[in-house]
A and B are shown apart, each in its own frame.
Chain A
Amino acid sequence: MKKTIINKGAKLVVLPTTQFKTLHIAIDFSTLAEAKSISARALVSYLTAVSSAKYKNQQAVAKKTIDLYGAQYQTDVFRIGQMHHVRYTFQMPAPTYLSDESQLLKDAFDFLQEMIFNPLVENNAFDEETFLNEQKSLINELVSIKDDKNQYAIAKLRELTYDSPGMQMAAIGNKEDVAQLTSSEVYKAYIDMLHHNMMNIVVLGDVDHVQVSQILNEWPIVAHQDEKSVEPFYRQSAKQQPKELVDYQIDINQAMLTMAYQIDVAPFDNQRFAILVMNSLLGGTPLSKLFMNVREKESLAYSIYSRWQQDTGFLTIFAGLDSEKVSQADGMIKTQIKALQLGDFDHKTLEAVKQSLINDYLSRHDSPLSQIEVTFSQLLTAHETSEQKWIERINAVTAQEVQQVAQMLSFQSRYILLPEV
C-alpha cells in the first residue's frame, strides 16, 4: 500500500483499477469518540451533506450531482473501536464510460472540496435556517430508532455493555444533546474536525496517483502537528457482575434477546484468527450451532446470529423470537457456547466455516466499497496482513485453538425486549 502525505495533514492512498465502472473518493475524519462531541459531529455531517457556500441547499447540491452524471454524494458518521468518524463519500461513473468528459475527475474533486471546506457559514456559525432544518432531521432520525426493534435492541445492549459514555452513545448522537446545540457550537466542532482529526483519503478507480496528488495538493488541508497517536481499538476490563435489563414495548409481536460476551485479547493477537473461526461456528454462518440448533432444530428463534468485533473485543448475539421462548432460547444459547468450550463440533463443519470465511475475504475484492473500507482500516491501525498470510492463518486454525478461545468468552450483559401485553 503506497501512502502519500498531503500538505502535512492528510494521508492519501490511491487504488488504481479498471475492474469497476466507477470512480470513488472517500475522505475520513476520525478522532477519539467523546460523548460531548458526537452529537455536534453528527450535525456537521448532516449540514455538509446538503449545503455549502456555493451550493446553498439540497436542491443546488442535487442539481450538481445530476450534472456529474448521477454521482452519489453522502456523508456518514460511525464508530470503529473507540474512534468516531465523519466520512464523506463520492461515487460516479468512471469517465471512460462517458463520452468526451476529460474534465470530470477535476470536477468531482472540486465539488467535494467545496462541500467539505467551504460550508454555508456566517459569523462563525452555520446558516441558521439550514441549521434548524438539519437539527430537526437528525432529531427525527434519532427518535425513529425506536421504530426498528432490531436497531433499538442493539442500541440498548450497547448502552448496557460499554463503560465509557463515548462508547455507549449512538454514533449519530443523542436527542437531548442535538436539541441543545447551537449553530456556532456545531461550527466549532467542524473547525475542530478540520484542525485536529486524523484525515485519510482513499481514491479508487481508473486514475493514477500523480494526477490525484496534484489535485489534492491544491486543497486547503490544514497541516497537523505531530499529535500523539491514539490506539484506535477499544478494550475495557471485564465486569464482575453482568448487567441485565428487560424492557417492554407496545405494538410488537416478537421479542428480541441480545447479549454481549467479552474476550480478553489484544486486537492483533494471533488468536484473532481462531476467534473468527469460533464465531463462525457459534453463530456467524448458516452452518453455525446457533442457526442449526436454536433456529432449525428447535425452532426457538426466527433469526439468530453472533458477531465478533475485533475493534471492541466483544462478541454479541442477537435473536428475534417468540416472547414465551426467551428463557428456553437463552438456555439453549448457553448450551451451544458450552459445547464449543468442550470441543463438541465436527471437523467437517470446522473446515466448512473456514472456507466460508476465506470466500468472504476474497469476495471483498469484488466490491469497491469493501476495498476502500479495508484500506481505511489499514491506515487507521497501521496494521496490514497479506492475503496469502491471512488465508494461511485461517486454514491453520485447529479445533483445540477454537476450544481455547471459546473458553475465554465472558458473559457481560443481556438486554431483552418484550412485547407489552
Chain B
Amino acid sequence: MKIKHYLKLKEDLVTETLDNGLKIVMIPKLPYHKTFAVLTTNYGALEQKFSINGGSVIDIPAGTAHFLEHKLFEKKNEDAFTKFGELGADANAFTNAFQTSYLFSTAQNFIPALIHLLDFVQTPYFTEKTVAKEQGIIGQEIQMYDDDPNWALYMGLLNTLYPGAAIAQDIAGTQNSILKITPELLYKLHSAFYQPNQLTLHIVGHFNPKEILAAIHDNQDKKNFKAVKITHYAEKFSTPNKIQVERHFNVSRPKVAFGIRVDHDNVLGVEGAKRVLIVDILNDLLFGEQTDWYQDLYSRGIIDTEFETSFDIIKSYQYVSFFSETEEYDLLTDAIQGQIDHYSKYLENQQNTFESLRKATIGEGIQKLNSLENIALQGDDVLFGTNLFDKIELLQDLTFDDILVTADKLYRNATLQRFLLRK
C-alpha cells in the first residue's frame, strides 16, 4: 500500500496493485457521507481491431464496447443493476472513446456493493438470446441521440475533421454495425480487456482503506483468471477532404462548430495532461470572455454565453474545437480565423493576463475537488495517468513560455474547418 500526500490540497492518495494486476486507487474523504467507486477498463469505442495471444486479427464492429457494457449487467437469473438498487446504491456505467466504467455510490452497505461491482464485471454471461434483445434496445438509444442537435453538431464536426474515423462514429454504433456482434466476440473481448491487469478501481469517500483492501483481496483470491496477451492495432487517419460542411436540421438558430486538427505531434502521459492545461489557458488568452475579441463579438450579437472552446487529446487524435449558436456564422468564421492568423502578435505582452488565468485555472481545479465523482472520473487517469491533484500541481509550474511554444505548434499554419447545422 503506497500513500502519497498532497499537502497543500490536504488530500491523500492510497494505491495498491494486486498480484493479479488489478490496480486500486483510494482517496479517503472522511467528512463525506457517501463513497463512490468506479471500475474502469481502458477499452473504449476507438478500439477497432485486436488479437489475443498472437492469434489472428479480430474486427470489432462500431458500438461493441458500449454494447458489452450494457450486456455485462444482464446475468442468468438477475440484472446486476437490480442488486445495487436493493442495497440502496445508485449504479451506472458509461462508455466513451477510450474507456468503459462501471460505478456506484452509496452512503450505506458499501462493501457488499463493492463486492457486487467486482463480481458482476468479472463474471461475463452472454447468450444469443440476450444479445438479440439488446440489439433492439440499443437501436432505440441510437435514435434518441439522432434527435439531439447538439450531438449532431459534435459528431458532424468530428466527421469533418476525421472523415470515416473511429472517433467520428457514434459510441453506440449504428443499427447495422451492432447486428454483427455475437456472444463469442463479447467473450473474447471480455477475456482480453476485462482481465484484472486491464482494470483500475477508484474509491473515493468515507471508508477505511485497510478494511476495503482486505475485502478486495479476499474477493480476488477466490477467482481464477487466465492471463491473455493483447495486441492493439493503431488506426490510420484519412486526410480531411472538405473545409466546410453543412447539414440541414430543424434547429431554431444555426449551430456552428469549428475545429483545428493537430497532427504529427503525439504527446503521451504527463506531457499530454500538461498540453491540455496549456492549451486551455492559451485558448482563454485568445478567445476567453475577458478578451476584447470576445466582448466585441458579444456586443455585436455574433456570439452569446453559449460560445465555447475546447481542446482534446484522445490517443492520436488531437483537436481544438469551438461551438456557437448564431445567425452570423460567416462573421464568426472570419473572427476566429483572424485571431488564429494573428495569434503571435496578440500574445505579445500577455504575461500578466497569463498569470491571472493560471491562478484562476488553479482555483477552478480546487473547486472541482468538492465532488467525489469528479475526483474519481475527471482526472484523465486513463489517458495520461494523472489525477485532479496532479493537474493542480502541474498548473503551479506552467510558464508563459509554455504558452508561446505550444501556440506555435497549434496555430502556425493551422487549418480551420467548419461544420454548420441549419434549417
A residues adjacent to B (C-beta < 8 A): 18-22, 57-59, 61-63, 65-72, 91-94, 97-98, 129, 133, 136-137, 140, 143-144, 146-149, 249-254, 285-287, 296, 299, 302-303, 320-322, 348, 352-353, 355-356, 358-360, 362-363, 365-368
Chain B residue at smallest Cβ distance from A295:
B137
Chain A residue at smallest Cβ distance from B91:
A286
Chain A residue at smallest Cβ distance from B206:
A366
By the criterion CB–CB under 8 Å, are A21 and B301 in contact? Answer: no
Task: Give the contact-size bracket for chain B.
Answer: 35 or more
By the criterion CB–CB under 8 Å, are A254 and B87 in contact? Answer: no
By the criterion CB–CB under 8 Å, are A66 and B290 in contact? Answer: yes
* Docked complex: B290-314 residues within 8 A CB-CB of A: 290-292, 294-295, 298-299, 301, 304-305
Q: Bound complex: CA of A68 vs CA of B362, how far in Å?
A: 11
B366, CB-defined interface residue at 8 Å: yes
By the criterion CB–CB under 8 Å, are B366 and A93 in contact? Answer: yes
Looking at the complex, which one of A67, A91, A321, A353 makes contact with B367 (CB distance below 8 Å)? A91
Determine, out of B26-34, B184-192, B340-348, the stretch whose residues face the partner at the interface: B26-34
By the criterion CB–CB under 8 Å, are A63 and B88 in contact? Answer: no
- Given A58-B295, A59-B295, A254-B147, decide whether A18 and B31 contact each other with a Cβ distance below 8 A: yes
By the criterion CB–CB under 8 Å, are A146 and B252 in contact? Answer: yes
Ranked nearest first, the 6 interchain pairs of A and B with the lowest CB-CB distance are A355-B88, A69-B363, A251-B250, A70-B363, A70-B360, A62-B289
Q: Bound complex: CA of A92 vs CA of B362, how far in Å?
A: 11
B107, CB-defined interface residue at 8 Å: yes
Q: Bound complex: CA of A362 vs CA of B364, how far in Å?
A: 26
By the criterion CB–CB under 8 Å, are B88 and A66 in contact? Answer: no
Q: Bound complex: CA of A360 vs CA of B88, how far in Å?
A: 9
By the criterion CB–CB under 8 Å, are B299 and A147 in contact? Answer: no
| Inter-chain contacts of B406 with A (CB < 8 A) | none
B379, CB-defined interface residue at 8 Å: no
Most buried by A among B88, B205, B367: B367
By the criterion CB–CB under 8 Å, are B367 and A355 in contact? Answer: no
By the criterion CB–CB under 8 Å, are A355 and B356 in contact? Answer: no
Q: Bound complex: CA of A69 vs CA of B295, how far in Å?
A: 21
Q: Bound complex: CA of A221 vs CA of B138, how far in Å?
A: 55
Report the minimal beta-carbon distance from B107 to chain A, rounded to whole angstroms.
4
20 new A-B contacts at CB < 8 Å, known A65-B360, A251-B250: A18-B31, A22-B370, A59-B289, A59-B290, A59-B291, A59-B298, A66-B356, A93-B362, A144-B251, A144-B253, A147-B149, A149-B147, A251-B147, A253-B143, A253-B144, A286-B82, A286-B85, A299-B137, A303-B144, A366-B372
By the criterion CB–CB under 8 Å, are B140 and A359 in contact? Answer: no
Report the minimal beta-carbon distance from A32 to chain B, rounded to whole angstroms.
29
Q: Bound complex: CA of A21 vs CA of B372, how far in Å?
A: 12
Report the minimal beta-carbon distance from A105 to chain B, rounded to whole angstroms.
14
By the criterion CB–CB under 8 Å, are A93 and B363 in contact? Answer: yes
By the criterion CB–CB under 8 Å, are A66 and B360 in contact? Answer: yes
Report the minimal beta-carbon distance from B389 to chain A, rounded to whole angstroms.
11
B183, CB-defined interface residue at 8 Å: no
By the criterion CB–CB under 8 Å, are A57 and B299 in contact? Answer: yes
By the criterion CB–CB under 8 Å, are A129 and B299 in contact? Answer: yes
By the criterion CB–CB under 8 Å, are B33 and A365 in contact? Answer: yes
* Docked complex: B129-171 residues within 8 A CB-CB of A: 133, 136-137, 140-141, 143-144, 146-149
By the criterion CB–CB under 8 Å, are B356 and A352 in contact? Answer: no
- Given A92-B367, A359-B107, decide whether A69 and B137 contact each other with a Cβ distance below 8 A: no
B325, CB-defined interface residue at 8 Å: yes
Report the minimal beta-carbon distance from A335 to chain B, rounded to whole angstroms.
21
By the criterion CB–CB under 8 Å, are B88 and A352 in contact? Answer: yes
- Given A70-B362, A253-B146, decide whether A358 and B250 contact each other with a Cβ distance below 8 A: no
By the criterion CB–CB under 8 Å, are A251 and B249 in contact? Answer: yes
| Inter-chain contacts of B133 with A (CB < 8 A) | 299
By the criterion CB–CB under 8 Å, are B82 and A287 in contact? Answer: yes
| Inter-chain contacts of B82 with A (CB < 8 A) | 286-287
| Inter-chain contacts of A321 with B (CB < 8 A) | 140
Q: Bound complex: CA of A252 vs CA of B147, how far in Å?
A: 5
| Inter-chain contacts of B141 with A (CB < 8 A) | 302
